[in-house]
Chain A
Amino acid sequence: MPRPENKRREIIIWIGTLVILGLLPLIINTYITMLITEILIMGIFALSFNLLFGYGGLLSFGHAAFFGVGGYVTAFLLINAFPSVPAALIMGSLAAMLAALVVGYFSVRLDEIYFAILTLGFGMMFYALVHQWRSVTGGSDGLTGIVLPPLGIAPFSVEISSPRAFYYIAAFFFLITAFILLKIVRSSFGLILLSIRENKERTTFTGINIRAYRLSAFVIAGLFAGLAGGLFALFDRMASPSMMHWTASAEPVLMTILGGAHVFLGPVAGAVLFFFIEHFITKFTDVWMIFLGAILIPLVIFFPEGVLGTLLAGKRRGRKIKNGEGPDDTHS
């Protein structure tokens, strides 16, 4: 069977990405390093969202709930329990996964707008919860005062509190997440997920319990959203309710639509665009959201498949005409 992916090209892309991400901090200043760190973290968040949206056809408007749970649990454990970043991140991600299991259990029964509204509702509940539960969450102040302990054991430990060191942490988890999620969307599970997005009825009648698959996707997406949230809390040195606000749930949606939901790295491209647009506009004005809207509208009109999606589709068409190939898998 001819492959959706070209093996050699992919290995080159992976190595290239590794080298670029590895060398980048050596040539850029601290500010840009931090900007890219944030992009990598939000990239994880957006990739996890797109497992649901682009591959599963489920538009979640409450994905920030899991981002927030990951952030709060990671922060809480680091402040109150043990000084281990990996352990706190793992616990944070698992807690988010558990939260996703509960929310998903109720939400995946519904479709389309009803699913979107229910997840939005759950998201708002989580937001209200962290806002009210002052003794644990610090209320509207959030959990502050995170100190990043060194990574590893005494003589061999490394400091990770510098922006550059933390950049590498984020890059590491970004690569792991991209690798795992790419593997998942190309697995048998991924094809079934795609089938559900394409045609729910046909999929059920071939013997698939749709809810079980959607719930699995929801839980996996929750896990990685939690990881992103944990990293974000470490990056910001705090977990705050704004991480869980419904506008935070809108960010991965925007990024994904901006970059393209039907190409794997679309959401990451969207995150890059989102932050650079924000970065350059806030230089001139504080009401950057208005300008973001003004930029978003033509982008969505002229790049219906997202910026990356539309560019790749154009390139693929060109290649096809050259080689006389049939249309190939657009989901890789």
Chain B
Amino acid sequence: MTPILEVKHLTRNFGGFQAVSDVSLSVTTGELTALIGPNGAGKTTFYNMLSGKFPPSSGTILFEGKDITGLPPYKIAHTGIGRSFQITNIFSRMTVRQNILSALIAHYGKGASLFSPYWRDAKLIRETDAILAQLGLSEFSDVETRYLAYGDKRLVEIGIVLANYPRLILLDEPTAGMTPEETERMTALIQRLADETKTTFFLTEHDMKVVFSVSRKIFVLHQGQLLAQGTPQEIRENRKVKEAYLGGSLDT
């Protein structure tokens, strides 16, 4: 089966410093995959290249066999890759519903409609409501997102990503800063979305419990290099990985 994402020799330098060095990997369609590694390993940099925030210094990125290396973010979004950010990235002075609508309008290219009120577009409203129901955010539809609890803000960002109907979703530490209950809820949501939809999820996590419980395939990044890859079981037993994490934090 062709991988949904194939990365070859991806490298990114910042000045003389190599944040990601010569990483090659592929993500199988439909397989919930994780990218782990200690702080500063290069995970976010890796996602930034995949999503077009900045181009790689060298290497290629193939999405569904198509070369998307160096494309601007808005083009990559339209080819079918969505992403969330490590630090919550939403529209704070807009209502929850407007947050989702904005992404839907972008997805359908309806932003050029200068005079049609978005709230009269039955299709957009229906799909917004469906996404909000999926996330359990319906009761907050008309609340500006700046008034939401932290965990709900992070859910709104997932909603924005879903509203682009991407085939590959990159989640950069989706549970960062969450309480145990919020983490539980987010993990269950990701699991459910991965099971119910054909979307492929590729996430980074610092919470090993989350990683080992949801993912079927794990890549380990260490100081910009790919250290190991395998099933959760294989990674748990990998000696190099244990050393990179100084033994402790993997035993969860």
Contact = CB atoms under 8 A, between A and B. Distances in A.
18 contacts: A3-B119, A183-B117, A189-B113, A191-B98, A191-B102, A194-B102, A198-B94, A202-B160, A203-B102, A203-B106, A204-B77, A206-B103, A206-B163, A206-B164, A213-B111, A327-B95, A327-B142, A327-B147
Interface string A203-218: 1111111100100000
A135 interface: no
Contacts of A157: none
B97 A188 contact: no
A329 interface: yes
Contacts of B105: 188, 191-192
B90 interface: yes
B118 A205 contact: no
Interface residues of B, number: 47
B47 to A, nearest CB: 11
Interface string A1-24: 111100000000000000000000
A184 B117 CA distance: 8
Given A198-B91, A204-B74, A207-B164, A186 B117 contact: yes
Q: What range describes how many residues of A lie at the interface?
A: 20 to 34
Contact of A199 (B78, B83, B91, B128): B91
Nearest to B124: A188
Interface string B73-99: 110011000110100011111110110
A204 B73 contact: yes
A187 interface: yes
Which of A2, A206, A329 has most B Cβ within 10 Å? A206
Contacts, number: 117
A205 B111 contact: no
Interface of B: 51, 53, 72-74, 77-78, 82-83, 85, 89-95, 97-98, 101-103, 105-107, 110-119, 121, 125, 128, 140, 142-144, 147, 157, 160, 163-164
A194 B107 CA distance: 16
Interface of A: 1-4, 183-184, 186-189, 191-192, 194-195, 198-199, 201-210, 213, 326-330
A209 B95 contact: no
A195 B107 CA distance: 14
Contacts of B92: 198-199
Given A199-B91, A327-B147, A4 B119 contact: yes
B116 A199 contact: no
A96 B101 CA distance: 33
B150 to A, nearest CB: 17
A194 B147 CA distance: 18
Given A199-B89, A204-B73, A207-B164, A187 B94 contact: no
A189 B102 contact: no
Nearest to B146: A327
Contact of A207 (B78, B85, B97, B128): B78
